[in-house]
Amino acid sequence: MSVGRTAIGLAAGLAAFALAVAGCSSEHGSGHGAVPVVATTAAWGSVASAVAGEHASVTSIEKGANADPHSFEATPADIAAITDASLVVVNGGGYDHWVDDVLAGDPEINAVDAYSLRNPAKPANEHVFYDVLVAKAVAAEIAKRLGEIDSANADEYRANATKFGQQADEIAARERAIGQAHPSGAVVATEPVAYYLLRTAGIADRTPPGFANAVEEGDDPAPADVAAMLDLIDSRQVSVLLFNPQTETAATKQIEDAARRVGLPVVSVSETLPEGVDYLTWQRDTAEELARQFDKAAQTNR
């Protein structure tokens, strides 16, 4: 969406945004006088809320189990929310592509870009919200920016970010323990959503590149790539299937059915923050489920 198009209807969007902020202030912040923070996705909104506590009103634009960040198009009210916020938290890396034109059109927007805080030594993957150490860095940066905006509460922001970071470290340690317990463990995935989790854990992803690339681009995998995935599953060359239920297609459903038919453990890895769950709980639960299923697979293969 271009800046020119998003400018149309901006005035109308401001009124809608004002109502939205008023409606969510009791849920995310102290309401009157709270610092307005906007996140492009609910995952980063949860991180921002953990740092801000009661001193900010946090609004997440893309949210809900059925949200599809790859195809999301912003409304005038969404653009108004971004431009009016004191702080904006974005995923970056092309994931929330719609916000790129907004930021480019207004360089004064105070934005934290999660993708820019990833370890540059790791291969690029836009799903940085599955890297809890990136989330830790984002929390620290949010605390820094909020402290500059609202110096009276700077110490509390820093303390909240420190607590968040300690919990993120614990989850990262749990992820590494999976690979340590299963050094030859491997998975296939219907989509590389949990790429960074696997990298942290040291678990190999044997998904055929052609299959992974096609799914990422929203295309149907070639029959040869589907056949290669099925062979890995049928021959039990992997221990677990990672399945993203939010982007189910005929091809990915075929893969899931094949895994269940042969008794291969299936772990659901959602792309968006589940309803009623905060970021750290989401990532902790995913790591724990992956650990359980690897342990189950190891016992089955004995």
Contacts made by residues 74-77, CB under 8 angstroms, sequence distance 24+:
74/1, 74/6, 74/98, 74/99, 74/102, 75/13, 75/16, 76/6, 76/8, 76/9, 76/10, 76/12, 76/13, 76/16, 77/13, 77/14, 77/16, 77/17, 77/20
Residue 218: the pLDDT is 82
What's the first-to-final CA gap in the chain, in angstroms? 54
Chain mean pLDDT for the chain = 88
Count CB-CB contacts under 10 A for residue 187.
26
Specify the pLDDT at position 302. 61
Q: What pLDDT is recorded for position 24?
A: 38
Using one digit for the tens of pLDDT, what is the confidence trace for 162-173? 999 999 999 999
pLDDT, tens digit (0-9, with 9 covering 90-100), for 85-107: 999 999 999 999 999 999 999 99
Q: If you search the block for the tokens 């949210």, which residue do you land on?
A: 63
High-pLDDT (> 70) share of the chain, % = 87
Quote the CA–CA distance of 290 and 269 in Å, as a whole number: 10
Rg from Cα positions in the chain:
20
Q: What is the pLDDT of residue 63?
A: 84
Q: What is the mean pLDDT of residues 73-91?
A: 95
Q: Tell me: the pLDDT tens digits for 50-70?
A: 999 999 999 999 987 666 777
Task: Map out the domains of the chain with their CATH numbers.
Answer: 3-168 (3.40.50.1980), 182-271 (3.40.50.1980)
pTM of the model: 0.86
| Residue 5 pLDDT greater than 70, yes or no | no
**15 or 82, which is more confident?**
82
